[in-house]
Structure 1
Amino acid sequence: MNMIDFYKYQGTGNDFVIIDNRDNHFDGCNTETVRFLCDRRFGVGGDGLMLLENHAEYDFTMRYFNSDGNEASMCGNGGRCIAAFAVHLNIVPAKETFQFMAVDGLHEAKYDDGIVSLKMIDVKNVDANDDYTFLDTGSPHFVQFHESVENLNINKMGSEVRYSDTFMPGGTNANFVHFINDNTIKVRTYERGVENETLACGTGVVASAISAHLKKKDINEFNVDVLGGKLKVSFEPNADGGFNNIWLVGPATFVFKGTIEV
C-alpha cells in the first residue's frame, strides 16, 4: 500500500479527484483503485479521476478515468478543472492561454480569477434526427429537447438511451434540454461511466448548445443552466455542416487536498 497525495476540484458540481503524476509515481490506474478513489463512501469521492502528466511538446497531458474505473473519452468540466489545477501548481500562468493534450486531441485553455475557458475539439458533423441529435464533442452525446426537463426521470430515460441498440457497442451519454429563452437552455445529463445523472457535463453542454443552434440558426452563443450552476458555450458553424472555435466557459474550483492510502 502507498500513500498518495490528491486534490479535489469541482466545476459546476462535476467533481474530480486529481493527482499530480508528472513524476509517474502513481501506478494505480487499475479499475479497482480508480473505483475506490472515486467512491463517495469509502474513498475520496468524485465523478472521475484525472492524472496530470508531462508532455514532450505541450504544457501537460490530461488522463481521465470515469468513476467506474475505466479510462474514458474527453470530459469538458474535467478539462476545465485540470486547467485550474495546473495554474494553482504554477505549471502554467494565469490569464494567459496554454495548451494541453487529452485523449481527443489538443486543447487550449485560459484561467482568469476562477473562470476557465476551454477550447474544445472541432465537431465534424451532427446527426440530426426527428426527435434527437447525436454528435461527438470529445465524447458521444444524444440530445433531446423537451418542453420542460424539471420533472423528467433522467436516470430511467438516460439509461434507456445509453444502453439502447442504436448506440452499441460503446453506448452514449444522454442529454435532455429545454429552452429558457432564445439563447439560454437548461440541460440535464446522464453520463455513461458514472451511470447516473451528474450535476453537469461539459461535453454534454457543448453538444446541447450546438443542437440548440440547429433550432435557433442565428445564435452561436448560449448560456447554459445545469444542476450545478451556469456555463457558457460559443462556436462558429462552418460550410461543411460542422463547428469550429468551440469554447466552454465556467468556474473551476479547488475544494480540498489530502493524502490517502491505496
Structure 2
Amino acid sequence: MELEIIKCHGSGNDFLIIDEITNNYTFSEIQRAEIAKALCSRETELGADGILYLQKSDHADGVMRVFNTDGSEASMCGNGLRCAARYICGLLGKKEAIIETMKADLHVSEQENIFPDVTTFQVEISPVSFSLKDLPLILDQETLLNEKVSELSEELKFTAVAVPNPHLIAMVEEKHLQGDFQGELSSKLNGPNKWFPDGVNVSFVKSISKGNIYVRTFERGVGFTNACGTAMSASTLVTCLLGLNNLEEKVNVYNNGGMVQCIAHKYEDGYKIDLIGNATFMYRAGVTIDMDDYSFTTGPKADFGEQVSYGKLQSEVKQFLDTNMKG
C-alpha cells in the first residue's frame, strides 16, 4: 500500500499525519493500530510519538484520531491537534475551524507567531473534569485536588484531572525532577495497578515564577515525551487553582521540546483551556507498507525548511531554563 505522510511536531512532540480526507485510504481499526506501531517505532527512519489520522466529519471541518506508538488510541492530543489544525485549515483555506475529536468538537485557529517564523495555532482543550470516575481513578473519594496519596508518595501531593484524557499532576521542586522517581511511578501506574485501570499521563510541574512553569510528562502509551499538550494545559489550570498563576491570563509553559502558552478559563459549567504553540511541518514523504507484516520502505523526504526557526526557539528556551530552573 502506498501512503503519503507528513512528519510534524508541536513542542517537539512529533507525529505522522495521514490524510484520509483527500486520499482513498481504507483501514480497519486493527490496521490503524499496527501501522502506528510500525511507522512510529524509534528503531525506524520515521519514528514518532503517534499518528494523526485525519478524516472527513459529517458536521465539523474534519476529524482527528490519534494512535500512540503502542497502537492504543488517545482520546485527545493537544500538540497533535495544533498540527491537525494547520493541515485542515490549509486544506480548506481557512484561518479557523472546528475539529471533531473522540470526546468533543474543538475550535482551532491560526495565531500570531509565538516566535519569529514559527507557525502558530491555538486549540481548545476541553471538556475538563475533576471527577475521578472520568479518568478513571479508583480512590474512595470523588476528587483529588493537591492531596497526598501515601501509596504513591509520602512527600508529593497530586491532582487528578481529565481533559478529557487522564492526568495525574504533582507540583515539585528541582530535586524531584532529578533521579528516577517519576519514571518509576509512571511505569507503575501504566502497568497493572489498582488505581488507574486505563493508565494515566503523569506530569511533574515546577513553578518558575508568576506566569512561567515547567512541565515534564510521562505520556500514557508513549513514555517520556518532549511535551504533552493536554498535560501542559491541565498543569496550567492546576497552577491557577493553587494561586500560582491567574485564570484568564497567559502562562508560558516550558518543556523539554520548547514552550507553549496556555490560558485557563472558568465558566459557569466548568473550565476550558486555550493551548497556543507551534505547528511545525518537518517533511513530506511517500511510504510503501506491506499490509501483511507492516514492513515498509520510505521514499525521498521533501523538507519544509521550518525546523531551523524552531531550533532558535529551543535555544532561547534552553537558555531560560538553565538560568531560572535552579532553586
Aligned pair count? 255
Distance in structure 2 (CA, Å) of the matches to 1:248 and 1:163: 29
Shift of 1:237: 2.4
The residue number in structure 2 matching 1:176 is 204
Q: Is residue 182 of structure 2 the alignment partner of residue 186 of structure 1?
A: no
TM-score by length of 2: 0.73
Distance in structure 2 (CA, Å) of the matches to 1:41 and 1:119: 33
TM-score by length of 1: 0.90
Is the 1:101–1:107 contact (alpha carbons within 8 Å) kept by the matching residues of 2?
yes
Amino acid of the residue matched to residue 162 of structure 2?
D
The residue number in structure 2 matching 1:151 is 178
Amino acid of the residue matched to residue 122 of structure 1?
P
**2:266 pairs with one of 234, 237, 254:** 237
Distance in structure 1 (CA, Å) of the matches to 2:225 and 2:55: 26
Distance in structure 2 (CA, Å) of the matches to 1:167 and 1:28: 32
- CA RMSD across the alignment: 1.9
Unaligned runs of 5+ in 1: none
Unaligned runs of 5+ in 2: 114-118, 132-142, 149-156, 290-327
Distance 1:173 1:218, change over 3 A: closer
Distance in structure 2 (CA, Å) of the matches to 1:205 and 1:166: 26
Shift of 1:174: 0.2
Q: Deviations over 1:126-145 (max 9, x none)?
A: 63123100000121000001
Q: Classify the secondary structure of the residue corresponding to 1:125.
A: coil
Distance in structure 2 (CA, Å) of the matches to 1:105 and 1:24: 26
**2:228 pairs with one of 194, 201, 205:** 201
Amino acid of the residue matched to residue 184 of structure 2?
K
Q: Deviations over 1:177-219 (max 9, x none)?
A: 110002211000001111x200000011111111111211761
Amino acid of the residue matched to residue 124 of structure 1?
S
Distance 1:166 1:178, change over 3 A: farther
Q: Classify the secondary structure of the residue corresponding to 1:167.
A: coil
Distance in structure 2 (CA, Å) of the matches to 1:109 and 1:248: 9
**Relative to structure 2, which stretch is displaced further, 122-131 or 58-67?**
122-131
Q: Classify the secondary structure of the residue corresponding to 2:276.
A: strand
The residue number in structure 1 matching 2:121 is 116
The residue number in structure 2 matching 1:216 is 243
Q: Deviations over 1:141-190 (max 9, x none)?
A: 00001112542434223223434735331011100011000221100000
Q: Classify the secondary structure of the residue corresponding to 1:123.
A: coil
Shift of 1:111: 1.6
Distance in structure 2 (CA, Å) of the matches to 1:192 and 1:155: 12
Q: Classify the secondary structure of the residue corresponding to 1:169.
A: coil
Distance in structure 2 (CA, Å) of the matches to 1:218 and 1:43: 41
Is the 1:28–1:34 contact (alpha carbons within 8 Å) kept by the matching residues of 2?
no
